[in-house]
Amino acid sequence: MRRAVCPGSFDPVTRGHLDIIGRAAALFDEVVVAVGVNASKRRLFEPEERLAMLEQACAEWDNVRVDGFTGLLTDYCAENDVVAIVKGLRGPGDFEYELPMAHMNVSLTGVETVFVPTSPQWSFVSSSLIKEVASFGGDVSPFVPGFVLERLTARVEERRAGGA
Ligand code: PNS
């Protein structure tokens, strides 16, 4: 049984994430989508909300499950018999950002990183851009599942009403 993780913040999950998760599910026996819940960054969605959206979005794959983690990703991998970390690469910027982390992670516990090129149609999609565009009322419907769009629109409205 070869288990991989797709780690990330998923604030919120996008169709770009789902492209990588689905392709990882075809490569490995089991894929755990591991949601980093470290409190350092301010997020639009709480960890429970991000997990719930991912669970719904990943329901179509029998060998994909969702989990949260705190602390080092390598510790999570060691504790859960994970042999590979799967990361999507949208372009050279992602590679520059990810390569040192891949080196660090393999040097910490030997866990390998597998890079999967993001499908071109999602190559410009990121959670942060989705949030920015949505916050100004732009149409992000092509880039997230419908139920994510609903939650995103509602959260943006709440923040606007609350002055945040
Ligand atoms: O979607 P993101 O924000 O790029 O996800 C980043 C995440 C959660 C994958 C990354 O920050 C992470 O692995 N955090 C866990 C802490 C850790 O292991 N840091 C050392 C990396 S070499």
161 CA distance to ligand 1 centroid (A)? 32
**Predicted pLDDT of residue 49:** 96
For residue 158, the SS3 value is helix
Q: What is the pLDDT of residues 28-78, one digit of tens each?
A: 999 999 999 876 678 999 999 999 999 999 999 999 999 999 999 999 999
pTM of the model: 0.95
Neighbours of 126 (CB within 10 A): 15
Q: Which of 66, 72, 130 to mutate to test the pocket of ligand 1 (most atoms within 8 A of CB)?
A: 72
Q: Which two tokens stand for residue 57?
A: 């979005």
Annotated catalytic residue 90: yes
Give the pLDDT score at 163. Answer: 67
Spatial CA neighbour of 8 closest among 97, 138, 80: 97
CB crowding 88-109: b at 16 or more within 10 Å, else e:
bbbeeebeeebeeebeebeeee
Q: Which atom of ligand 1 is nearest to the CA of 36?
A: 8
Amino acid (1-letter code) at residue 3: R
CA 37 to ligand 1 center in whole angstroms: 10
